[in-house]
Amino acid sequence: MASAATPTGVRVRFCPSPTGNPHVGLVRTALFNWAFARHHQGTLVFRIEDTDAARDSEESYAQLLDSMRWLGLDWDEGPEVGGPYAPYRQSQRMEIYADVARRLKEAGHAYDCYCTNEELEERRAEARAAGRPSGYDGKCRTLSDEQVAAYRAEGRTPIVRFRMPDEPITFTDLVRGELTFTPENVPDYGIVRANGAPLYTLVNPVDDALMRITHVLRGEDLLSSTPRQIALYHALTELGVADGVPAFGHLPYVMGEGNKKLSKRDPESSLSLYRERGFLPEGLLNYLSLLGWSYSADQDVFSLAEMVAAFDIADVNANPARFDLRKAEAINADHIRRMEPKAFAEACAPWLRAPYAPWAPEAFDEAAWQAIAPHAQTRLTVLSDITANVDFLFLDTPVEDEASWAKAMKEGSRELLRTAREKLAGADWSAPEPLKEAVLAAGEEHGLKLGKAQAPVRVAVTGRTIGLPLFESLQVLGRERTLARIDAALEKLGG
């Protein structure tokens, strides 16, 4: 398109089909389009490709919008915001597609194909056996009126096929460079079903043309449809529907476990899982941006604003990207540490109440939470970890974790706990330091270093061997409750 190169003329689109839960591959596509649009002060069009009534659902549509809002990926045209090319749901644009299909046929760019599936399959098998390309053979390109009449008399209803040019198609992919597709590999293809329903192959490029999309950035799985779409664009341009061909950039595959393509069905690909575990939108997007792109050689953690400033589609790598959950978590942990303390405390709220939190709502103590939150902020990988880290504050009795108990309560633990209790009872509880001194001193009496001495205290008080810094935790829990829990542990150990 003539205007593609001018900064504010950039128009990209995110155009998912509302089928099932959004997955991380889809989010990566949305993110790269969004970052590209924002970097160029362009326009992000959000279009819903819901022409497949059997697979699309309103629930999935609502989830898509909700996900985009949660991620903070805003759109300039699309559902709920409208725009000059409305409507942005393809199910509401059916007349447009019917009209374009009719015009394509009139101009000779498309034709009715009466072949049945059985006939197609038979000819495909023959071609394969003879070592010829096995795509559609063009049989119905040149049907006589008599043949058409005969087919109709048999009761056949045709599909509409687009007539591919007989020359190779070459284009420069923004990620992969120059690519050429030869005609044998790109046969004539269906654009309207026998029942009149338009297919993705038609509606997607027609809308990209009508909505004046300048850059199509999408997953590599769609690369094979690009030569078809380019040919269709030429036809649409001739008809005055399109204004040239957009630029294409295909984002690399995302590989999961065992070097297999990450599939929608893999549990780690579901966006809702990340949300429920308490990934921050910024942390998740930061990680997903690294699936094919990098900010700089020595910096993996950055903000969305930094990404927008630096993003260039030319820097996207064509090689498959490997999805690494551990790395995603590490990056998320970094984003958690970077939050304003107040924002962190607020962001944890959902995990401090039912159904995540096992304590009664009235047991929650805001002051205790505010006091402990800073110590948790530096230690969480995902926000949902907060529940287990602070439950000792809000449960009447700490959780019973047998493994922790077995690990920490050794021979001599009873004596150590007794001494520690005594020293803690006499300590100054206005700061964590004297509590540490008390446990240190108790350990010394029994020939134990601090680490060994504090383990039984921690398990007695919090139920677990690992958790937030112990003495800060004791102080927030308070003298009375701490001593009562040590007493209960002593009793369990036989007094």
Hey, which residues are catalytic here?
Answer: 264
Q: What angle do CA 242, 212, 159 make, to 5 degrees?
A: 50
Phi-psi map region of 152: left, alpha, beta (phi>0 left; psi -120 to 50 alpha): alpha
When the beta carbons of 142 and 296 are compared against Zn ion, the nearer one is 142
Q: How far is the CB of 123 from Zn ion (least distance, A)?
A: 9
Please report whether residue 269 would count as binding ligand GLU according to CB under 6 A. Answer: no
- Residue 2: CB atoms within 10 A of its CB come to 9
Q: Rounded to the nearest 10 degrees, how much is the dihedral formed by the CA atoms of 280, 282, 287, 290? A: 170
The stretch near Zn ion (CB under 5 A) out of 135-143, 363-371, 444-452, 483-491 is: 135-143
Closer residue to Zn ion, CB minimum distance, 120 or 347: 120
Q: Which of residues 99-128 bind Zn ion (CB under 5 A)?
A: 113, 115
Q: What is the pattern of x (binds Zn ion, CB under 5 A) and - over residues 414-453?
A: ----------------------------------------
Our CB check for Zn ion shows the closer of 45 and 113 to be: 113
Distances, alpha carbon 192 to alpha carbons 137, 162, 208, 222, 239, in Å: 18, 9, 17, 19, 18
Whichever of 119 and 433 has its CB closer to Zn ion, that residue is 119
Q: Rule CB under 6 A: is residue 223 a binding residue for ligand GLU?
A: no
Residue among 12, 14, 13, 17 nearest 63 (CA): 17
* Rounded Cα–Cα distance for residues 20 and 98 (Å): 27
Other beta carbons within 10 angstroms of residue 315's beta carbon come to 12
Q: Which does 140 bind (CB under 5 to 8 A by kind): Zn ion, ligand GLU, none?
A: Zn ion
Query: CA-CA distances (angstroms) from residue 105 to 12, 156, 201, 354?
Result: 29, 18, 15, 60
Site for Zn ion in 281-310 (CB under 5 A): none
Rounded to a whole number of angstroms, the minimum distance from the CB of residue 46 to ligand GLU is 12
CB of 29 to ligand GLU, least distance (A): 7
Q: How far apart (Å, rounded) are the C-alpha atoms in residues 77 and 68? A: 13
Q: Which of 204, 377, 387, 454 binds ligand GLU (CB under 6 A)?
A: 204
The single residue among 139, 322, 446, 479 that binds Zn ion, judged by CB under 5 A, is 139
- How far apart are the C-alpha atoms of 84 and 398, rounded to whole Å? 59
* 35 vs 140 by CB, closer to Zn ion: 140
Please say which residue, 15 or 408, places its beta carbon nearer to ligand GLU. Answer: 15
> Nearest-CA neighbor of 91 among 130, 58, 129?
58
CB-CB contact of 434 with 427 (8 Å): yes
Among 37, 140, 211, 216, binds Zn ion (CB under 5 A): 140
331 binds, among ligand GLU, Zn ion, none (CB under 5 to 8 A by kind): none
Q: Does 49 bind ligand GLU (CB under 6 A)?
A: yes
Extract long-range pairs of 449-454: CB within 8 Å, 24+ residues apart: 453/416, 453/420
Instruction: Choose the one of ligand GLU, Zn ion, none that binds residue 413, judging by a C-beta under 5 to 8 angstroms depending on kind.
Output: none
38, 109, 218, 421: which one binds ligand GLU (CB under 6 A): 218
- Report yes or no: 60 and 26 within 8 Å, Cβ to Cβ: no
Which is nearer to Zn ion, 115 or 427 (by Cβ)?
115
Nearest residue (CB) to Zn ion, 100 versus 115: 115
Site size toward ligand GLU (CB under 6 A) is 7
**Quick check: 222 binds ligand GLU (CB under 6 A)?**
yes
Give the x/- contact pattern for ligand GLU in 6-45, rule: CB under 6 A.
---------xxx----------------------------
Which has the closest alpha carbon to 32: 60, 9, 13, 8? 13
- Taking the complex as a whole, the smallest distance from the CB of residue 204 to ligand GLU amounts, in Å, to 5
Query: Distance (Å, rounded) from C-alpha 420 to C-alpha 423?
Result: 5
* Residues 316, 198: Cα–Cα separation, whole Å: 33
Please choose which of ligand GLU, Zn ion, none residue 17 contacts, taking the beta carbon within 5 to 8 angstroms, the exact cut-off set by kind.
ligand GLU
CA-CA distances (angstroms) from residue 103 to 8, 128, 324? 32, 34, 48
Which partner, ligand GLU, Zn ion, none, binds residue 86 by CB below 5 to 8 Å per kind? none
Residues that bind Zn ion (CB under 5 A): 113, 115, 139-140
Residues that bind ligand GLU (CB under 6 A): 15-17, 49, 204, 218, 222
